[in-house]
Amino acid sequence: MTANDTREARADAVRALEGEFSELFTHVRRLFAENANRLSPGMLPGAYKVFTTIVRRESITLSALAESLHTDKGQLSRTVRELEDLGLVTRTPDPTDGRSSLISATADGLRRLREVRAPRESALSNALDRWDVDDIRELTRLLRALSQSAVPG
């Protein structure tokens, strides 16, 4: 295989991967919209993403959340306030920095999220039911490397 053939094969593979990601992102956007609406009727998918990021991080400052989501701190502050008004998150003083607060999910928010996710989690589990567990772990490892712009090792 020549260097040109290798470049073309890589370009074709990357385009195919991009196409699959496009399909996956469309599916995820639809899922987020459905889950957001089930969590709180009228909730926008962006607010759902903010909430699930807070849940994943367990406790996070607004600045760290904005950095994690690559978003404007002002808009994010309004979204977090909406999540507070819905009883999904709470703010507590940051023990390491008195000027900021830690944002975390409430017990009710976690319960409601579990209820919203339950039907979809079984769908993912069913889709992966016949996959070898090592293949699932490998996909997870490769996606983590890709999301961190790292070379899989």
Question: Does some domain include residue 58?
Answer: yes
Strand order of the sheet with strand 60-61? 60-61, 97-105, 89-94
The residue segments making up the domain with residue 84 are: 3-106
Neighbours of 99 (CB within 10 A): 7
Question: Does some domain include residue 43?
Answer: yes
Residue ranges of E strands in the chain: 60-61, 89-94, 97-105
pLDDT tier at 43 (50, 70, 90 boundaries)?
very high
pLDDT tier at 57 (50, 70, 90 boundaries)?
very high
Question: pLDDT digit string (tens) for 109-128?
Answer: 999 999 998 877 777 788 88
Structural domains of the chain, count: 1
CATH for 69: 1.10.10.10
Question: Does some domain include residue 129?
Answer: no
Query: Is the pLDDT reported for residue 66 higher than 80?
Result: yes
State how far the Cα of 103 lies from the Cα of 51, in Å rounded to an integer: 10
Question: Does some domain include residue 127?
Answer: no
Question: Does some domain include residue 9?
Answer: yes
Query: Is the pLDDT reported for residue 40 higher than 80?
Result: yes
Q: Tell me the pLDDT of the chain averaged across its residues.
A: 91
Question: Does some domain include residue 122?
Answer: no
